[in-house]
Amino acid sequence: MEGDAAPTADMIRAQLRRLRTAAGMSQEEFGRLVHYSGSMVSALELGQRPLDRLFLARADEVLATGGLLVYLLKLAERDGQPSWFRPWLDAERSARQLRCFQPTLIPGLLQTENYARAVIRCDDMLSDDEVERRVHARLDRQSLLVQPEPPQFIAVVDELVLRRAGEDVRGLMVEQITHLVASLERPHVSLHIIPAEVGLHVGLSGPFNLARGADGGWVGHMEHQIDGLVVDGDDEVATLLARWEMIRNGALSRRQSIELMKEVVTSWT
């Protein structure tokens, strides 16, 4: 972890060393219990290797921390998010309703691990460790859809998003679309597809998200190639809400969308 995440990552390493020492275990002894070598434990504690989620989960079990180390890792991953994205993460976590329009990709909250990894790997400037960090951060965001009182989540995507699949990724897309259909078994999750025959529509100017908080207020978010923008001005939010309604009205119903997804999968298998 780099940048803003470093202080939290250093704290995790310090807590790991403290807990291991308090338990009276050497790095070799501890390594045997968590199924890592002593040299690997040393490298992780010294920051010579990036923090490993599986390692920390096993460390939490061995040291009986109640999940402390994995929780701290989640905080570190949040700290590692770009500064422009953090306000949206906060709005997303506290939302009672979420709206998402994506004309080019499956929405992040509904992506499978393999799809997320494939999308993130499209940026060949990222190291393998950074790719995995971003994959885990994206999957962690999805936990809000399975919490005890989840927000209502409605997404709209273009049909092209489902059909963008060469021979080399069709297996991945079958897995992803099957996951989408399964996700719609949750009553608070909806996905609607804009059929290809709709042609031009207002949503083609770009993706955006909307979050409605417990106070009833809406916040928008628009992401670009380099960064993103949180929108909370009354006029701007009203414009996004109006565009959302136009986009949603051009999409298929929930049932029709599920049928289309199943048809796409059947055509490939």
Got the DSSP string for 105-128?
Answer: S--GGG--HHHHHHHHTT-TTS-H
Strands in 189-194's sheet, in edge-to-edge order, are 189-194, 152-158, 97-102, 208-212, 218-223, 228-231
Separation between Cα atoms, residue 252 and residue 81, nearest integer Å: 34
**Is it true that domain 7-78 has CATH number 1.10.260.40?**
yes
Average pLDDT of the residues in 201-224? 88
End-to-end CA distance of the chain: 40
Q: What is the pLDDT of residue 176?
A: 95
Separation between Cα atoms, residue 46 and residue 13, nearest integer Å: 7
- Assigned token pair, 216: 């009833």
pLDDT tens digits for range 50-94: 677 788 999 999 999 998 888 887 776 665 565 556 677 788 888
Query: CATH topology of 7-78 equal to that of 86-267?
Result: no
Separation between Cα atoms, residue 148 and residue 5, nearest integer Å: 28
Sequence ranges of the domains in the chain: 7-78, 86-267
Greatest Cα pair distance, the chain, in angstroms, is 67
Q: What is the pLDDT of residue 59?
A: 93
- Assigned token pair, 254: 């929930």
Top CATH class, 86-267: alpha beta
Q: What is the pLDDT of residue 206?
A: 87
CB distance 29 to 42 below 8 Å = no
For the cut 70, the answer to whether the pLDDT of residue 223 exceeds it is yes
Which is nearest to 116 in space by CA: 99, 102, 137?
Answer: 137
- Residues ≥6 apart with Cβ < 8 Å to 248: 154, 156, 192
Beta bridge partners of 229: 222
More confident of the two residues 203 and 212? 212
pLDDT tens digits for range 136-183: 888 888 888 988 899 999 999 999 999 887 777 888 999 999 999 999
Q: What is the pLDDT of residue 1?
A: 43
